[in-house]
């Protein structure tokens, strides 16, 4: 039985590594000196032969304006090990930082947010960099978390199965955590209204909260005046 499980996992990994990615010359323009230079217009005269090799992990903080408040989109990892947080992951060969962020965010939102669309939204953005991690921001129209959860997943795409449940959390619920030291598991608890009966975790991912702390310290949230 263990042998068959190993074979299946290997096949899934091979299929995932062969999945198509954005390969237009314009989208592959690298980041120079920490500034975004990814161009989506194929007709652009901007030229660059330098591709980002192992640009490092990256992600996108997806947010919306709803009911007069800023809401952040968070997801629960399927195994309940990590906890609730944003969307991020490691890079692949010949990806720019923005391409990594767009791909990982698309995968972890079940493809509801299209990779090309996300890449366009963050084009021209200078990411916030923290210990090798790059964070972008994307404002999207409000749509129910249930609609994202119901989005059909592509076949043979293991990357799309990493997350399980989604929730829009008002920023004012998260903000107090960004100024508090030595957070406990009790501090990190989500409000029960965001949880579903089958949720495997009830707390925020502390690594994600720590990232947001750094953003706050540097006045990096785009909705701030």
CA neighbor of 108 nearest in space, from 73, 143, 70:
73
**206-214 mean pLDDT:** 94
**38-56 mean pLDDT:** 39
Mean pLDDT value across the chain: 77
Token representation of residue 32? 């120079």
Q: Grade residue 45 by pLDDT with cuts at 50, 70 and 90.
A: very low
Question: In CATH, what number does 21-41+50-217 get?
Answer: 3.90.79.10
pLDDT of 109-150, one tens digit each?
A: 999 999 999 999 999 999 999 888 999 999 999 999 999 988
Positive or negative, the CA dihedral 132, 122, 102, 95 is negative
Of 177 and 78, more confident: 177
CA distances to 183, 189, 213, 221 from 178, in Å = 10, 14, 5, 12
Mapped onto helix, strand or coil, the DSSP state of residue 178 is: helix
Domain extents for the chain?
21-41+50-217
Say which residues have a Cβ less than 8 Å from residue 102's Cβ, sequence separation at least 6.
60, 115, 116, 118, 119, 122
Structure confidence at residue 163 (pLDDT): 77
Per-residue pLDDT at 175 exceeds 90: yes
Question: Which of 4-18, 49-63, 86-100, 207-221 is least confident?
Answer: 4-18
How many angstroms from the chain centroid is the CA of residue 186? 25
Percent share of the chain, pLDDT over 70: 72
Percent share of the chain, pLDDT over 90: 54
Question: Which of 6-15, 43-52, 149-158 is least confident?
Answer: 43-52
Mapped onto helix, strand or coil, the DSSP state of residue 13 is: helix
Of 34 and 214, more confident: 214
Per-residue pLDDT at 85 exceeds 70: yes
């Amino acid at each position: 039985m263990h042998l068959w499980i190993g074979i299946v996992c290997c096949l899934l990994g091979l299929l995932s590594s062969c999945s198509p990615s954005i390969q237009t010359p314009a989208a592959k323009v690298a980041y120079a000196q920490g500034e975004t230079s990814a161009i989506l217009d194929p007709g652009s005269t901007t030229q660059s032969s330098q591709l980002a090799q192992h640009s490092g992990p990256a992600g996108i903080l997806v947010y919306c304006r709803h009911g007069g408040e800023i809401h952040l989109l968070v997801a629960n990892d399927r195994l309940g090990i990590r906890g609730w947080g944003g969307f991020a992951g490691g890079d692949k060969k010949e990806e720019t930082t923005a391409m990594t962020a767009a791909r990982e965010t698309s995968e972890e939102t079940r493809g509801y947010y299209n990779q090309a669309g996300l890449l366009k939204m963050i084009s021209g953005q200078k990411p916030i960099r923290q210990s090798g991690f790059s964070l972008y921001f994307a404002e999207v129209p409000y749509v129910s978390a249930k609609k994202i959860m119901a989005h059909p997943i592509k076949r043979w795409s293991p990357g799309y199965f990493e997350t399980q449940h989604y929730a829009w959390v008002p920023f004012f619920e998260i903000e107090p955590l960004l100024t508090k030291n030595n957070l406990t598991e009790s501090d990190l608890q989500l409000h029960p209204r965001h949880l579903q009966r089958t949720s495997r975790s009830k707390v925020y991912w502390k690594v994600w909260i720590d990232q947001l702390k750094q953003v706050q310290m540097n006045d990096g949230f785009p909705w701030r005046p």
